[in-house]
């Protein structure tokens, strides 16, 4: 089965509202500003209400209540608002149990948030890679979205076969998926996001997050690869055989990650993930 | 007069959840200590079967030297600062160091031939070195592999059970 067939045959897959997809699209537009964000949100009352409730939660401890999107952007900044909106939107689609991966309802979402905050951290961590923090955050949030598609076709027999390949051949989970099904959750996720016409670098990051592109120059997938690994090491590793992930042999050098730097990074990821998690539970 | 066992209702079991970078020591024989989603982290249990005192520690990283401020604020984050504290905590509740049964689980490993990202392996290495230096040995362990684990310590008898996603529960 190909990734495209998987997308075409997907049943009842409602990933996010039109507004959220438009906001992701804005990430690609260098001329987009606060007004564009306000314009998109204006047509989605429910989303606006959710956003304002989150802004007024105790996590932000604002001195005055926020009553409009303009005011929220002014007080918290356009990046923070964008991340909150995307988190609010995608949490519903991704807070589902996945029998095919033996994950409970909240686990995929928590892992997505952990990877998103790790990715954002990496853009600020003095690593030799330039990326927009919001683009990195969004790519982290969506990197495993293909698991929603894979879950629809992963029968118990297939799962057993995939686990068998991991154990006997020491395959990574994604390689074992490809061997048994013909495609994998990374390809499936990218194919899905392509149908939504999301920005190309986000699609690239989702497609290659287990096979990062480092040469001729680093791509966003390399950053998401490291963010995913850091999220696993920071205590967010959902599903069976969760550590059967091949770490790219060149990625540590490319990002100048030493053993000590890695520990600090994992610590930072843990802290930022706990903050985001707390924020989201209040929203 | 004896009462038929069918009429004996056990009191509800108290479950004490140990988070990441956290520890609990207890002398409540009716309790169960549990920690979820041990990946590369280690879950370390100590149990004195005579005093029925035990403890569970969930450490994330091997070495506190990377961040001494963090280590001071939450010592259970690191193997080298967390382990002495859980020993101290169970002894404060009346456990005898010489009777302590030590078990450990977790330390999952990524497929990483370069071994830069092998935090799970180093967690276990630092833990075993620390025990050896102080003359302790591990009674049983379930370390490494690709699976994340949920660990439970039954304070009635010191049994330690492990559950991984999609797998049956087993004792170690």
Mean pLDDT of A240-252: 91
Mean pLDDT of A171-195: 93
pLDDT at A130: 79
For every residue of B40-87, DSSP letters joined together read SSEEEEEEETTTTEEEEEEE-BS-GGG-HHHHHH-GGGBHHHHHHHHH
> Which of B72, B77, B146 best probes binding to A when mutated, by most A CB atoms within 10 angstroms?
B146
Q: CB pairs under 8 A, 24+ apart, for B128-132?
A: B130/B79, B130/B80, B130/B83, B131/B83, B131/B102
ipTM reported for the complex, 2 dp: 0.88
With an 8 Å Cβ cutoff, are A252 and B117 in contact?
yes
Cβ partners under 8 Å of residue B96, min gap 6: B48, B50, B51
Residues of B in Cβ contact (< 8 Å) with A233: 39-40, 117, 119
CA distance A240 to chain B (A): 5
Q: Which of B21, B111, B113 sits opposite A245 (nearest CB)?
A: B111
Mean pLDDT of A172-193: 93
Q: What angle do CA B103, B109, B113 make, to 5 degrees?
A: 140
Distance CA(A188)–CA(A153), nearest Å, equals 12
Q: How many residues does chain B have?
A: 172
The predicted model scores a pTM of 0.89
Q: Which of B112, B146, B164 sits opposite A247 (nearest CB)?
A: B112
Closest to A206 (Cα-Cα) out of A99, A91, A119: A119
Which residue has 């004195």 as its token pair? B48
With an 8 Å Cβ cutoff, are A264 and B67 in contact?
yes
Distance CA(B47)–CA(A278), nearest Å, equals 33
Query: B60 near A266, Cβ under 8 Å?
Result: yes
Which residue has 């590793």 as its token pair? A237
Mean pLDDT of A71-98: 83
Residues B9-19 pLDDT 10s: 666 778 999 99
Instruction: Collect the ranges in chain B with pLDDT lower than 70.
Output: 1-11
With an 8 Å Cβ cutoff, are A262 and B63 in contact?
no
With an 8 Å Cβ cutoff, are B119 and A262 in contact?
yes
Residues A143-177 pLDDT 10s: 999 999 888 888 888 888 998 999 899 899 999 99
* pLDDT above 90 as % of chain A: 28
pLDDT at A62: 77
Q: Which of B37, B110, B119 sits opposite A266 (nearest CB)?
A: B119
> Which of A100, A101, A258, A263 best probes binding to B when mutated, by most B CB atoms within 10 angstroms?
A263
Distance CA(A150)–CA(B18), nearest Å, equals 33
Mean pLDDT of A51-73: 82
Reported as a pLDDT band with limits 50, 70 and 90, residue A224 is very high
Position with higher pLDDT, A211 vs A9: A211
Please report, for residues A91, B28, B35, B55, B160, the alpha-carbon distance to residue B32 in angstroms, rounded to integers and kept in the order given. Answer: 32, 9, 10, 10, 10
Position with higher pLDDT, B91 vs A113: B91
With an 8 Å Cβ cutoff, are B108 and A257 in contact?
no
Query: A176 near A154, Cβ under 8 Å?
Result: no
With an 8 Å Cβ cutoff, are A240 and B164 in contact?
yes
Q: Provide residues of B within 8 Å CB-CB of chain A.
A: 20-21, 37, 39-41, 60-63, 66-67, 70, 77, 108-114, 116-117, 119-120, 122, 145-148, 164-167
Closest to B34 (Cα-Cα) out of B52, B14, B49: B14
Residues of B in Cβ contact (< 8 Å) with A267: 60-61, 66-67, 70, 77
Residues of B in Cβ contact (< 8 Å) with A163: 166
Distance CA(B70)–CA(B74), nearest Å, equals 6
For every residue of A163-189, DSSP letters joined together read HHHHHHH---HHHHHHHHHSS-HHHHH
Reported as a pLDDT band with limits 50, 70 and 90, residue A188 is very high
Kindly identify which residue of chain B lies nearest to residue A210, measuring between CA atoms.
B111
Query: Cis peptide leading into A216, omega within 30 of 0?
Result: yes
């Amino acid at each position: 089965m190909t990734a495209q067939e998987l997308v075409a045959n997907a049943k009842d897959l409602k990933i996010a509202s039109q507004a959220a997809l438009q906001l992701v699209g804005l990430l690609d537009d260098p001329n987009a500003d606060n007004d564009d964000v306000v314009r998109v949100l204006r047509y989605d009352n429910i989303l606006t209400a959710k956003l304002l409730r989150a802004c007024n939660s105790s996590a932000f401890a604002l001195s005055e209540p926020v009553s409009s999107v303009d005011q929220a952007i002014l007080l918290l900044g356009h990046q923070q608002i964008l991340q909150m909106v995307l988190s609010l939107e995608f949490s519903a689609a991704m807070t589902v149990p996945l029998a095919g991966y033996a994950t409970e309802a909240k686990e995929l979402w928590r892992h997505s948030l952990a990877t998103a905050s790790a990715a954002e951290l990496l853009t600020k961590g003095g690593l030799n890679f330039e990326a927009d923090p919001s683009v990195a955050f969004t790519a982290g949030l969506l990197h495993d979205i293909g698991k929603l598609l894979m879950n629809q076709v992963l029968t118990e027999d297939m799962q057993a076969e995939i686990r068998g390949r991991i154990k006997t051949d020491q395959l990574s989970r994604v390689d074992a998926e490809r061997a048994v099904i013909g495609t994998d959750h990374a390809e499936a996720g990218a194919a899905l996001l392509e149908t939504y016409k999301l920005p190309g670098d986000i699609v690239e990051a989702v497609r290659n997050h287990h096979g990062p592109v480092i040469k001729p120059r680093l791509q966003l997938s390399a950053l998401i690869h490291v963010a995913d690994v850091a999220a696993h090491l920071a205590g967010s590793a959902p599903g069976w055989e969760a550590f059967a992930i091949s770490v790219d042999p060149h990625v540590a050098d490319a990002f100048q990650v030493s053993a000590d730097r890695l520990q600090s990074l994992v610590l930072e990821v843990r802290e930022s993930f706990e903050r985001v998690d707390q924020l989201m539970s209040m929203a | 007069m004896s009462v038929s066992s069918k009429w004996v209702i056990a009191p509800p079991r108290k479950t004490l959840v140990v988070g990441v970078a956290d520890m609990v020591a207890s002398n409540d024989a009716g309790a169960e200590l549990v920690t979820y989603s041990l990946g590369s982290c280690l879950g370390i249990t100590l149990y004195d079967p005579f005093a029925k005192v035990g403890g569970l520690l969930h450490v994330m990283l091997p070495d506190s030297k990377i961040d001494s401020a963090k280590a001071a604020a939450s010592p259970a984050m690191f193997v080298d600062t967390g382990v002495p504290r859980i020993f101290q905590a169970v002894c404060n509740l009346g456990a005898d160091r010489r009777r302590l049964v030590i078990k450990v689980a977790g330390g999952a490993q990524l497929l990483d031939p370069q071994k830069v990202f092998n935090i799970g392996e180093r967690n276990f290495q630092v833990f075993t070195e620390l025990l050896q230096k102080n003359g302790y040995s591990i009674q049983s362990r379930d370390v490494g592999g690709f699976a994340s684990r949920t660990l439970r310590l039954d304070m009635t008898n010191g049994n330690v059970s492990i559950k991984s996603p999609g797998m049956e529960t087993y004792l170690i």
